[in-house]
Amino acid sequence: MPFAIAQALPGGGYTGSTDITEAPEIDPMRALDIVINVLFSLLLIFAAIMLIVAGFQFITAGGDTEAVRKARDKVMYAVIGLIVAFVAKGIVIFVERIFAGSW
């Protein structure tokens, strides 16, 4: 990959290391941010699926109070999960801004 990039740069110069055994530097905060964003995205997808399933259960309940209760519980748990996820994401952003000094 570095050789392909080197050919695409103006002047054809690659300024990075050509040693393939050298591990790239990984910023732990950036890696944690990526993991949090991926987990947050997965949670949003899961909550959307749960809301769709609960809606389908509401439609197919046919007056069965137990089925309606189960569907209502799924909606409630999905909404509570979304609230907790957004609050947690907000706390992470708040703490990052405090430590970065961007307030």
The pLDDT averaged over each successive group of 10 residues in the chain (103 residues) is 52 60 74 87 93 93 91 94 90 83 62
Examine residue 42 and state whether it is found in any structural domain, yes or no. Answer: yes
* Residue 5 in domain: no
Task: Answer whether 68's CB lies under 8 Å from 58's CB.
Answer: yes
| Domain assignment of residue 83, yes or no | yes
Domain extent for 51: 26-100
Residue 52 domain-assigned (yes or no)? yes
Total number of domains constituting the chain: 1
Is 96 within a domain?
A: yes
Residue 73 lies in a domain: yes
46 in a structural domain:
yes
Q: What is the pLDDT of residue 27?
A: 77
Cβ atoms 33, 39 nearer than 8 A: no
| CA–CA–CA angle 26, 31, 37 (5° rounding) | 160
pTM score, two decimals? 0.64
Tell me, yes or no, whether 91 lies in a domain: yes
The tokens for 9 are 């740069």
Q: What is the structure's pLDDT at 29? A: 74
Q: Residue 17: its pLDDT value, please?
A: 60
